[in-house]
Amino acid sequence: MAHSNANHAVAEEAPGEELKLPAVSFWNADLGIKSWLLSLDHKRIGIMYMVLTLVGFLLGGILAMALRIEHLTPDETIMGPNTYNRVFTLHGVVMIFLFMIPAIPAIFGNFFLPLMLGAKDVAFPRLNLMSIYVYGAGALLMVWSMVAGGVDSGWTFYAPYSLSTPASLAPALFGVFIIGFSSILTGLNFIVTIHTMRPKGMTWMRMPLFVWGTYATSIIQVLATPVVGLTAVLTAIERLFGFGFFDPSKGGDPVLFQHLFWFYSHPAVYIMVLPGMGVISEVVSVFSRKNVFGYKMVAYSSLGIAFVGFFAWGHHMFVTGQSKFDAGAFAIISMLVGVFTAIKVFNWVGTMYRGSIAVRAPFVYVCGFLFFVVFGGMTGVAISSVSLDVHWHDTYFVVAHFHFIMVGATLMGFLAALHYWFPKMFGRMYHEGWAMLSAGLIILGFNASFIPQFLLGNMGQPRRYYMYSPEAQGLNVASTAGSSLLAFGFLLILIYLVYAIKYGKVAGDNPWGASGLEWKTPSPPPKHNFDSTPVVDEDPYTYRQKGEEVEHVVV
Amino acid sequence: MSSSEAHSHNPYLAHHFETIEQQSYAARLGMWLFLATEVLLFGGLFLGYTVYRWLYPETYQACADLLSIPMGATNTVVLITSSFTAALGYHAIKVDQVKKGVALLWVTIVLAGAFLVIKYFEYAHKFHEGTLPGKWYTFEGLQAPGANIFFAVYFLATGLHGFHVVVGMTILAILAVRAQQGRYHAKNYVGVELGVLYWHLVDLVWIFLFPLLYLI
Ligand code: HEM
Ligand SMILES: [Cu+2]
């Protein structure tokens, strides 16, 4: 049914004409497992990343459910306190380093960046392939550390606890270091690709906004990741040899650890969210049939977020004895991030205004994204006021804040991208009805999981504690119920997408009627993307100009 | 097709680039970005250096006096000379004097080896004295808070730098062998350029480490 009531976008295909998959595409241009494992094709590398990061997501998700089940009662439910510590640490580490950071850039960036630019591949295909093996090696180390003794310091690895805990931290820390390399390689590759691989006519101001988002992300990846890599290695060395670098009992300074850690890890939250913002810019214009409102502002605000993001890390350290001046400066700089984000939000809403909106699954995720970013961002501005942070620091309020803005937004961007580009990657359509149902479940489930956590944090439930006081049980149960909905939504998506890969309706080159070079190739695209290098002579979005009337299509 | 014809003309052009200029531009930009990541990697250590210098100013003075300025200075001269020969070698290959270029690259590698040998004697002396970092710090002559940390910074920074020297030597050796085999010459020299750039960075890091650790 989803296809019969298709909007104008689908109607472009002549009725009755049977669509066929191209006989040869990048999927079957070379055969055999080796042709995949050693492939230099950016599209195949994107697909392999998809498999790996989704395994990470599944693992992180199972751990999350275990945590929520544990919190059904104030005392022990299914695991002891030690296990609990390890589970929340691994949940954080796996979700952040194995899924959220690589997901959108490594899957959709790899697959679509060259296509959107009109290039044959990324600048360094070999490095690209190497990055996936580096990722795998780092991931294995992390998972191994989980089996070989567990990690219980939280994903933040704060010294001095991380120096003295008997758990086996060193492999996980080296894992962080190694995974960092894969992130650096991806970012470096994208920056060089964007600078050097644009064909004639693809000027900076003609680049799709997803490319801008990835560009800003890559800058952070390249400039911030080495610092966390060094910090992780220093911590591991310190554990092994006891140099005293971060250990106060030996004259070291644990606050230095926090500075080094957050110098990366604050910008890292923008590594996670900026690519999602790029996806939203693409999807919102396609499904509103209007050019992105304020293209330049959206593009520059990505760079603005990346830049300002480098100077906000101190808001994680308000309670470390920071001077009043520092605290004030970090608070104001943090709020600037909110300004750039708001610029984007207003522009996206402006794009929808008087457009011809097709409410399909990707568009629903855009709406979810806007909701999470606005509310998560506002709670961010709230906790960056120092006096409020002192109350909320290290409570569930912070947990809810970053899940709302970072996880919620990244997931919405990821799911929007997955549905929007699915037909291009696999050549077939997913089932719209099921997609709408799961989108509803996920957005609802996400709110139900984390709104109670805002309240819990405000009541004073600390994060990372095994037990909580009995009067908090109601909200905790509500949160667990919400996460079950969320999990169920994801399960549904997995099922109908896997089904669609094999049995979905053939999509055709451009099922959404979208502009953009990636839609000018067959679906799925051939191995070398374009038969001849395209010459670009128009803007990335060729829907309706500002002020031009959009004819509304009655569906 | 014009682009595939262009490919068959130039064996050094990878399939996904249109022109050799584009390919060289990409390679150079990639290398500069990589060097930026290296600067940030060392940057963390320099930050640690600064913080602890500020916490333990007297100890830092006393520790610096334990380092051998003649050895450090010799190493500085050795490394700067090696950067010079590397640059000359690159230039020679660029103007098609491949033999001379290869010889100069080998001179660079020998100088790098000399650097490591001198470093080895310095390290051995510290092992002997007991000015090792952390819990192995047993030197009786200086027992002040922060001394273990100064030497942690010293060994971490010079150790990481030494590792870079080894990597740089490997890269230069590969370049020299390949140039010998006729792969690098006036028409294809970007690879050498990148390797030499890397070597300059290794040199540059030392130029900061030497005064910070030994002199002030
Ligand atoms: C609108 C701008 C934002 C502001 C002003 C802001 C502010 C803050 C502040 C002050 C904290 C520290 C809370 C504490 O530990 O007591 C915090 C934590 C956090 N924020 Fe934000 N935030 C903003 C946006 C974001 C965005 C966009 C993301 C991610 C995409 C994000 C991710 C995080 C994370 C992960 C933490 C928790 C780190 C931890 O303690 O483990 N924030 N935020
Ligand atoms: Cu932050």
The pLDDT value given to residue B4? 44
CA dist list (Å): A269 to A14, A90, A99, A417: 45, 18, 13, 19
Residue A317 Cα, ligand 2 centroid: separation in angstroms? 9
The letter for the amino acid at A116 is: M
Question: Residue A207 has which token pair?
Answer: 């680049």
Q: Which residues of A touch B52 (CB under 8 A)?
A: 253
Q: Do A21 and A427 form a contact (C-beta atoms < 8 A)? A: yes
Ligand 1 pocket mutation pick from A310, A311, A316 by most atoms within 8 angstroms of CB: A316
Q: How many CB atoms sit inside 10 A of residue A246's CB?
A: 24
The one-character DSSP state at A528 is T
Ligand 2 mean position to A399 CA, how many Å? 12
User: How far apart are alpha carbons A333 and B110 in whole angstroms?
Assistant: 50
User: Which of B135, B161, B160, B129 minimizes the C-alpha distance to B148?
Assistant: B135
> Cβ separation of B45 and A230 shorter than 8 Å?
yes
The pair of three-digit structure tokens given for residue A78, joined into one six-digit string: 């299914």
Residue B185 backbone phi and psi in degrees, to 5: -165, -170
Helix (H, G, I), strand (E, B) or coil at A518: helix
Query: How confident is the model over B86-101, as a mean pLDDT?
Result: 95
| Torsion of the alpha carbons at B172, B176, B179 and B183, rounded to the nearest 10 | -50
Percent of chain B with pLDDT over 70: 96
CA distance A149 to A139: 16
CB–CB contacts below 8 A, A to B: 105
Computed over its alpha carbons, how large is the radius of gyration of chain B? 21
φ, ψ dihedrals at A483, nearest 5°: -70, -25
User: A398 in ligand 1 pocket by Cβ < 6 Å?
Assistant: yes
ipTM of the complex as predicted:
0.91
**Shortest alpha-carbon distance between residue A530 and chain B (Å):** 11
d(CA B98, CA A204): 40
pLDDT score for A8: 42
Which ligand 1 atom sits nearest the alpha carbon of residue A335?
5
Is B30–A188 a contact, with Cβ atoms under 8 angstroms apart?
A: yes
Residue A12: how many CB atoms within 10 A of its CB?
A: 12
Taking the C-alpha atoms of residue A432 and residue A364, their distance in angstroms, rounded to an integer, is: 11
Three-class SS state of A506 = strand
Is residue A312 within 8 Å of residue A269, measured between CB atoms? no
Residue of B nearest to A527 (CA): B16
Q: Which of B22, B33, B152 sits opposite A245 (nearest CB)?
A: B152
Going from the C-alpha of A311 to that of each of A304, A374, A480, the distances in angstroms are: 11, 22, 36
Residues of A in contact with B17 (CB under 8 A): 197
A506, β-bridge pairs: A428
Distance CA B46, CA B55 (A): 14
Q: Angle of helix A125-147 relative to helix A169-196, nearest 10 degrees?
A: 160
CB contact under 8 A, B40 and A192: no
Does A192 contact chain B (CB < 8 Å)?
yes
| The token pair that represents A46 in the structure block | 């994107």
Whether the CB-CB separation of A478 and A450 falls below 8 Å is answered with no
Q: Which residue reads 């900026």 in tokens? A: A274
For A:242-301, CB contacts with B below 8 A are: 242-245, 250-253, 256, 259-260
Alpha carbons within 13 A on the beta-carbon side of A234: 34
Alpha-carbon gap, residue A406 to A450, rounded angstroms? 12
Residue whose tokens read 């794009």: A351
Residue with tokens 């309020």: A397
Concatenate the DSSP letters of all residues of A192-249 into one string: HHHHH---TT--GGGS-HHHHHHHHHHHHHHHHHHHHHHHHHHHHHHHHH---SS-GG
CB contact under 8 A, B29 and A196: yes
Q: What pLDDT is stored for residue B6 in this prediction?
A: 45
Q: Which atom of ligand 1 is nearest to the CA of A381?
A: 5
Q: Which of B28, B37, B55, B150 to mutate to test the interface with A (most CBs of A within 10 A)?
A: B37
Q: Which residue is listed with tokens 């691989």?
A: A197
What per-residue confidence (pLDDT) applies to B2?
A: 42
Distance from the alpha carbon of residue A412 to the mean position of ligand 1, in angstroms:
18
Q: Evaluate: CB of A317 within 6 angstroms of ligand 1.
A: no
* Residue A318 near residue A390, CB atoms below 8 Å: yes
Residue B101 binned pLDDT confidence (cut-offs 50, 70, 90):
very high
Chain A interface disruption, residue of B3, B16, B32, most A CBs within 10 A: B16
| Protein residue with least CA distance to atom 21, ligand 1 | A380
pLDDT average per 10 residues of sequence, chain A (555 residues): 38 59 91 93 96 96 97 95 94 95 96 94 96 96 85 92 89 94 96 94 94 97 95 92 88 94 95 96 94 94 95 94 92 93 95 91 97 94 91 95 94 97 96 96 97 96 94 96 97 96 93 91 92 84 71 52
Cα dist from A94 to A89, A145, A175, A274, B47, whole Å: 8, 12, 11, 20, 29
Nearest Cα of chain B lies from the Cα of A113 at a distance, in angstroms, of 14
The verdict on the CB of residue A156 being under 6 Å from ligand 1 is yes
pLDDT at site A10: 43
Report the residue from A193, A225, A244 with minimal CB separation from B148. A244
Q: Chain B closest CA to A527's CA: distance in Å?
A: 12
Among A95, A104, A334, A343, the mutation site with the greatest number of ligand 1 atoms within 8 A of its Cβ is: A334
CA distance A374 to A409: 10
Chain A hits for B152, CB-CB cut-off 8 Å, are 243-245
Chain B contact set for A245 (CB, 8 A): 48, 149, 152-153, 156
Helix (H) or strand (E) holding A379: helix A361-383
Indicate if ligand 1 lies below 6 Å from the C-beta of A216. Answer: no
Q: How far apart are CA B137 and CA A448, in angstroms?
A: 55
Instruction: Please tell me the distance from the alpha carbon of residue B201 to that of residue B215, in angstroms, as a whole number.
Output: 21
**How far is A287 from A543, CA to CA, in rounded Å?**
10
Contacts of B30 in chain A (CB under 8 A): 123-124, 188-189, 192
Rounded average pLDDT over B124-146: 81
Give the count of beta carbons closer than 10 Å to the beta carbon of residue B199: 30
Interface residue ranges in chain B relative to chain A, Cβ cutoff 8 Å: 1, 3, 15-18, 22, 25-26, 29-30, 33-34, 36-38, 40-41, 43-45, 47-48, 51-52, 55-56, 133-135, 145-146, 148-149, 152-153, 156
Sign of torsion, CA B43 B49 B50 B51?
positive
Residue B38 in contact with residue B187, Cβ under 8 Å? no
What are the CA-CA distances from residue A366 to residues A156, A306, A370, A415 (Å)? Answer: 30, 22, 6, 9
Distance, CA of A112 to CA of A522 (rounded, Å)? 13
Q: What is the 3-state secondary structure (H, E, C) of chain B?
A: CHHHHHHHHCCCCCCCCCCHHHHHHHHHHHHHHHHHHHHHHHHHHHHHHHHHHHHCHHHHHHHHHHCCHHHHHHHHHHHHHHHHHHHHHHHHHHCCCHHHHHHHHHHHHHHHHHHHHHHHHHHHHHHHHCECCHHHECCCCCCCCCHHHHHHHHHHHHHHHHHHHHHHHHHHHHHHHHHHCCCCECCECHHHHHHHHHHHHHHHHHHHHHHHHHHC
Q: Which residues pair with A462 in a beta bridge?
A: A395
Does A268 sit in the ligand 1 pocket, CB within 6 Å? no
Q: Which two tokens stand for residue A507?
A: 């999509």
Name residues whose C-beta falls within 8 Å of residue A125's C-beta, 6 or more positions apart in sequence. Answer: A40, A41, A42, B16
| A247 Cβ contact list (under 8 Å, min separation 6) | A159, A160, A163, A238, A254
Q: Determine, for residues B145 and A184 on separate chains, whether the beta-carbon distance falls below 8 Å.
A: no
Nearest CA among A331, A141, A134, A163 for reference residue A243: A163
b/e A173-183 (16+ beta carbons within 10 angstroms → b): bbbbbbbbbbb
The C-alpha atoms of residue A490 and residue A418 are separated, in whole angstroms, by: 12
CB A333 less than 6 A from any atom of ligand 1:
no
Nearest alpha carbon to residue A369 among A390, A348, A398, A396: A348
Rg of chain A (C-alpha set): 23
Q: How far is A258 from chain B (nearest CA, A)?
A: 12
CA of A105 relative to ligand 1 center, distance in Å: 21
* Residue among A345, A314, A319 nearest A331 (CA): A314
Give the span between the Cα atoms of B199 and B115, in whole angstroms. Answer: 13
